[in-house]
Structure 1
Amino acid sequence: MDLGLPAGENYANPNICFFHVVFKAAALSFYILSALFFNSFVIIFVVTALLSALDFWVVKNVSGRILVGLRWWNEINDDGESVWKFECLDQESLARMNKNDSWLFWWTLYITAGIWSVLGIFSLIRFQADYLLVVGVCLTLSAANIIGFTKCRKDAKKQLQAFAAQTFASQVSSTIHTAFSVV
C-alpha cells in the first residue's frame, strides 16, 4: 500500500520528526491505555490534556517551522478582532524542504485529528460525557494546528504567486524597454 511517501530520500530532521510524532502518540496512547491503570478521571484528563498541549506547542512552534517552514499565530487587534498572522520561509528555502519531513508533518496532523474524532464518537456512543470532554480538548488543539497551518500554507502559495507575477511583469517590462530603447 503506497501512501505517497517520497522514495529515495531520508528525513532531514529525524529528531524533530521524532518529537513531532512522540507527543501525539503519547497523548493517544495514554488516553487509550489509561483505563487499564487508573481509576481516576482527573488523572486521565490532566495527563492527556497536558500531553496534547505539549504536542500543540511542539507542532506550532518547532516542527512546523523546521519541517515545513511555516509558522502561525493569532492576535487580537485594538478593535477586539481576531487576526491571523502567518510566517513562511523565503521561496528558495521552501523549495528545498525535505519531502519526507513535509509528508510526515501533514499526514500525522490529519491522522491524529481523525483518531481523536473516532475516539470522540466512541465516547458519545458509550454515553461517557466526561471522556468526550477530554477528546474535545485534544481534538480542538489538533484542529487549531490543522486550520492554522492550512491557512499559512495557502498564504505562502499566494505570496509565491504574487512574487512570480511580479518577477514576470518585471522581465516583460525590462524586455520591452530594451527592445524600444534607442542606443
Structure 2
Amino acid sequence: MDLNPPPGENYANPKTCFFHVLFKAAALAFYILSALFFDSFVIIFVVTVLLGALDFWVVKNVSGRILVGLRWWNEINDLGESVWKFECLDQESMARMNKKDSWLFWWTLYLTAVAWLVLGIFSLIRFQADYLLVVGVCLALSIANIVGFTKCRKDAKKQIQQFATQTIATRFSSTLQSAFSVV
C-alpha cells in the first residue's frame, strides 16, 4: 500500500469518500466529546455504538464497493462452519479504480482501528471498564471490516492472477495449434 496519496488526481467519488469518513469521525468525536455534555453512560454507549455500526455498514456495503471495488460477507453453512464470501469487480474495472479513493479507503480503515485501540488503552489506564466496553465494540467492528476487506483484496489478487495465467495458457495453446496446423 502506497504511503502517499497520488499527486494531481481528484477523488472520483467525493460523496462516498465524505460519508466513508463522516461516520468514522462522528463515532470517534462523539465518544471523545460526549463526557463534556452527557453524564449518562447509557446515552454515550448507545449513540457511539450506533454510529460505529453505521460506519461498519457504510464501509462494508457502500464505500468498499464504490471506492475499491470489493465486497465481503460471512455465512454459516449447513455444517455450522463459517464461510467467507467475496466479490470484486472484473480486472478492467479494478484497473480503472481511482487511486486517491483507494488510498483514502485503506488509510481511514486502518487509522480508525488504531484510534479506537488508543482510546481503549486510555480507558484501561483510567480503570473505566464500562467505557472499555464501548471502545471494544467499535474496535471489533473496525477490525471486522479490516479482516474482511484484506481477505477480499487477497482473493481478488488471486483471481486476477488465475485469470492472467489462464489467458496466457489459452493464447499459447492457440498459437501452438495454429503453428502446427499450418505445417
TM range (shorter): over 0.9
Residue 8 of structure 1 and its aligned partner are, at CA, apart by 1.2
Mapping 1:85-124, distance limit 5 Å? 85-124=85-124
Residue 182 of structure 1 and its aligned partner are, at CA, apart by 3.6
Which amino acid counterpart does residue 49 of structure 1 have in structure 2? V
Aligned to 1:62: 62
Deviations, residues 40-62 of structure 1 (Å, cap 9, x unaligned) = 00000000000000000000000
The alignment yields a C-alpha RMSD, in angstroms, of 1.0
Deviations, residues 73-132 of structure 1 (Å, cap 9, x unaligned) = 000001111100000011100000000100000000000000000000000111100000
Aligned to 2:163: 163
Unaligned residue ranges in structure 1 (runs of 5+): none
Give the TM-score of the pair, scaled to structure 2: 0.98
CA distance, structure 2, for counterparts of residue 3 and residue 173 of structure 1: 41
Aligned to 2:176: 176
CA distance, structure 2, for counterparts of residue 80 and residue 129 of structure 1: 33
Aligned to 1:127: 127
Residue 181 of structure 1 and its aligned partner are, at CA, apart by 1.0
CA distance, structure 2, for counterparts of residue 93 and residue 170 of structure 1: 22
Mapping 1:3-18, distance limit 5 Å? 3-18=3-18
Mapping 1:128-143, distance limit 5 Å? 128-143=128-143
Question: 3-state DSSP class of the match of 2:84?
Answer: strand
- Alignment pair present for 1:32 and 2:32: yes
Which amino acid counterpart does residue 156 of structure 1 have in structure 2? A
Which amino acid counterpart does residue 121 of structure 1 have in structure 2? I
CA distance, structure 2, for counterparts of residue 113 and residue 101 of structure 1: 19
Aligned to 1:53: 53
CA distance, structure 1, for counterparts of residue 111 and residue 8 of structure 2: 24
Which amino acid counterpart does residue 135 of structure 1 have in structure 2? V
Unaligned residue ranges in structure 2 (runs of 5+): none
Residue 3 of structure 1 and its aligned partner are, at CA, apart by 4.2
Question: 3-state DSSP class of the match of 2:86?
Answer: strand
CA distance, structure 2, for counterparts of residue 182 and residue 130 of structure 1: 78
Q: After the TM superposition, list the runs of 4 or more consecutive aligned residues in structure 1 that deviate by more than 4 angstroms.
A: none
CA distance, structure 2, for counterparts of residue 41 and residue 127 of structure 1: 15
Question: 3-state DSSP class of the match of 1:136?
Answer: helix
CA distance, structure 2, for counterparts of residue 70 and residue 23 of structure 1: 19
Identity %, equivalent residues: 84
CA distance, structure 1, for counterparts of residue 91 and residue 165 of structure 2: 14
Question: 3-state DSSP class of the match of 1:78?
Answer: coil
CA distance, structure 2, for counterparts of residue 82 and residue 66 of structure 1: 26
